[in-house]
Amino acid sequence: MIPLPNARAKLRRGENVPPNAERPKANLGAAMLSMTSLLRVAVQLAAIPLLARILGPYPYGVMAIAMPIANTLASICDFGLSSIIIRYSDRIYENTGFWIAAAVTSITLTALAITSYFLGAFVHPDTGRALIALGMMLPLSCFMSIPIARLTRNRRLGIIALGDGLGITLGLVAALYFAVNNFGFWSLVIQQLVILFMRAAIYISFSGFWPRLSINTRLASLLISEGARVTGSNLFETAARTVDNMLTGILLGPRPAGAYTMAFQFARLPEMVLGGPLSMSIMGKAAAVHETKPDAKEIYCSHLRGLAFIVVPAMTGLAAISDDFTEVILGPQWSGTGSILRGLCGAGAFLALGTVNQAALTSLGAYKDRLILSMILLIGVLAAVALGSLFDVIYLSYFISVAYFCQFLVGVRLVSRRSAAAILPTALDLTITALSSALMFICITVLQASAMLKTTPIFDLSVAIPFGVATFLITSLILRGRSFFNQVANLKNLFSS
């Protein structure tokens, strides 16, 4: 083991360190990342009622059309380097990768300008204006790609947590300020730009990376080849996660798209709080054990079981209380959003669980399988939107959940094949979690039908939530026996690096 000061010096220079060096700090960083995600959600939940009441559904509908395009183009600008460079610690790889991303970004900016013109001319003028302003996301994504890879490789997750926390907090403050001053959808545009700018500033400052004008042509061909595969996967994945918002706005109008987008924000809470930090934890552990199959198998199975034990009951419970929840959080002008949220809770659960599949495939270098997984989701989402547009946005939300479920099943199959993981024990564990959650849903529904919960939405939530948690825990204890306590004890290991 190298001395601690040497490990810190290597971290600052972006070099690899042995797995045990800086281990306490790595664990603390992973915990900070998860806690920051939780704090971010808490801040969002506090600010969303204000923004939702001030702005209404229309500005969210405008952003539902513009943001998917901006996110997709930003994913292209990253060119997969934030994932690829994790495996290469030499500075020449970082410099070469950055200039590749810069070249891709210059081309992508031109595509954004053309797209914004047609969007404003043929869809809605406000969507074109929003997209051209969001173009600032592209160079910021380019500059962040190498710093994120360096910080992740050295497991400095606390820095990532810091940038994420500051960005979210200042972005919400800016959005509230401009919303109060009647800036409409521009409030949400400014929010996104502030978030990304703060992240870029923190990541670049603390990673110590600044590009040098040095390119290795041999390495460039290698990085372009790998980047093309990862970008293809990320492109399909980003499109699959956002194209439903855009198409809902185009086919059903900005207001239904605004309600759908808002509901999906709540459905995505487990993925934002747990999925992102967990995927970084998995990739860091896989790198530390040199990606051996036995270790990868154990990492994958334990993390999938632990995440499901949290996510499945949380989303099942949210589905049961969705009407009261949206009425309390959003107000009367968002009526009907609770029904959309109920349909999307399945998508939220499988979206969060799917991050384990994506992280496992990335750590194993299975970029082709990631691409297949993303293509399956995109096809499923497009089919769901096509079917849902024949009815209404509520049906669409249920079809979207089916699409995410199918992708998750295929992802489990791909990971088990790559890592030789035995799926049956994990499947039995997930079945017990699903049964306990289903019983919880039934009990909450029966309680809501009684005269006891027909007062005010706030009172109903204050009774239903603890009742549902108690029901799930008791049922899990009965079905699992002694393994219940092992499952609870192992939850603390989810995010340790």
Write down the pLDDT at residue 288: 55
Both tokens of 369, joined, read: 């399988």
Calpha distance 33→497 (Å, rounded): 11
pLDDT tens by residue, 111-138: 999 999 988 888 788 889 999 999 999 9
Mean pLDDT across 144-166: 80
Both tokens of 154, joined, read: 């050295």
pTM tops 0.85, yes or no: no
Q: Are residues 75 and 134 in contact, defined by beta-carbon separation less than 8 angstroms?
A: no
Write down the pLDDT at residue 338: 92
Calpha distance 277→328 (Å, rounded): 29
Both tokens of 214, joined, read: 């040095």
Q: Are residues 414 and 366 in contact, defined by beta-carbon separation less than 8 angstroms?
A: yes
Please choose, from the candidates 421, 380, 437, the residue with its C-alpha nearest in 3D space to the C-alpha of residue 404: 380
pLDDT tens by residue, 32-81: 555 666 666 666 667 777 888 888 788 888 888 888 889 888 888 888 87
Q: Quick one: pLDDT band at residue 156, thresholds 50, 70, 90?
A: confident
Write down the pLDDT at residue 172: 87
Q: Quick one: pLDDT band at residue 219, thresholds 50, 70, 90?
A: confident
Calpha distance 260→296 (Å, rounded): 37
Out of 242-256, 290-304, 327-341, pick the least confident: 290-304
Write down the pLDDT at residue 443: 92
Statement: residue 427 has pLDDT above 60: yes
Q: What Rg value do the Cα atoms of the chain yield, rounded? A: 22
Mean pLDDT across 443-454: 78
